[in-house]
Structure 1
Amino acid sequence: MDIPRIQHLIDLLARSPIDELEIEESGWKIRLTRGTGSAAMTSPVTQLTPSETTPRKATDTAAVPQPVEQVIPSPTYGVFHISSSPGTPAYVKIGDVVEAGQQVGLVEAMKVFNAVKAPQSGRITEILVEDGAEVEAGTPLFRLA
């Protein structure tokens, strides 16, 4: 992996809504994280011995399905609102079941209100941003399971 390639990856991360990028290539592994001001490059990947890579038997561990969680991101830069106006009930609260396309909040930018909608049906498990907080496009607002 050469310096121009790494610089290109940094530029891509800066322009995208993702917060972290990890790439493994030609025995090198690089992880770039937004907001820390640094990129970490590690030494060549260590090869694992067969005993370390041998999968366990199914009887060793119980297969417990993990719920798939999704983050509902901000559609744009602005101020996040959990309700349509101060003093009115919130669109959603933790534990609410929502349908795909249901409005769960608002982002206000220059007196224009942009609806925040659930991308899929599920249950609100966490509200990640406080009402009235300034957010950027792509900022995670809710966790949906």
Structure 2
Amino acid sequence: MLVDKDAIRALADILTETGLTEIEISEADSRIRVARNVSVVQAAAPAPAAAAPAAPAAPAPVAAPVDPAKHPGMVPSPMVGVAYLTPDPASPPFAVEGQPVAAGQTIMLIEAMKTFNQIKAPRAGTLTKFLVESGQPVEFGEALAIIE
């Protein structure tokens, strides 16, 4: 069997661009499946997956993990630092998951070089999820929260 390296590279590029964890194409009597971040349990499942019953089960796990960085409501970190969800340990959080936020409302702080920088909601909506915990280091561009 000849291996089409260009097709495998193209599928790997699609995985990277879309955030999918696996992709498969079939033509005539050949089939190419490319997967990433697959645990041993998932890798064991495709071996008996040659039968049709496993094929419908494969798309469900692929659709479940959504890359937060690709979400249209993602709030990115503008800097490297440490994220804080409250102004101080004894105070309530700036925002709460599931609650509406206004455009420009402070949703967290990022401490960088002993300076606390307010991270404001870029749009009005509902804060559906914080993707960081208070006291967690963050990188530039890292997804901090999702506002829908």
Q: Does 1:72 align with 2:75?
A: yes
**Distance in 2 of aligned mates of 1:73 and 1:88:** 24
TM-score computed with the length of structure 2 as normaliser:
0.54
Letter of the 2:81 counterpart: G
* Cα deviation, residue 112, structure 1: 0.9
Letter of the 1:78 counterpart: G
Secondary structure of the 1:85 match is coil
Match of residue 110 from structure 1: 113
CA contact (8 A) 1:72 1:140 kept: yes
Within-5 A mapping of 1:5-84: 28=10, 30-31=12-13, 33=16, 69-84=72-87
**Could you tell me which of 116, 119, 123 is aligned with 2:122?**
119
* Cα deviation, residue 71, structure 1: 0.7
Letter of the 2:78 counterpart: P
**Distance in 2 of aligned mates of 1:29 and 1:121:** 37
Letter of the 1:89 counterpart: P
TM-score computed with the length of structure 1 as normaliser:
0.55
Tell me which stretches of 4 or more aligned residues in structure 1 moved more than 2 Å: none
Identical residues among aligned pairs (%): 39
**Distance in 1 of aligned mates of 2:102 and 2:26:** 45
CA contact (8 A) 1:75 1:114 kept: no
Q: Does 1:93 align with 2:107?
A: no
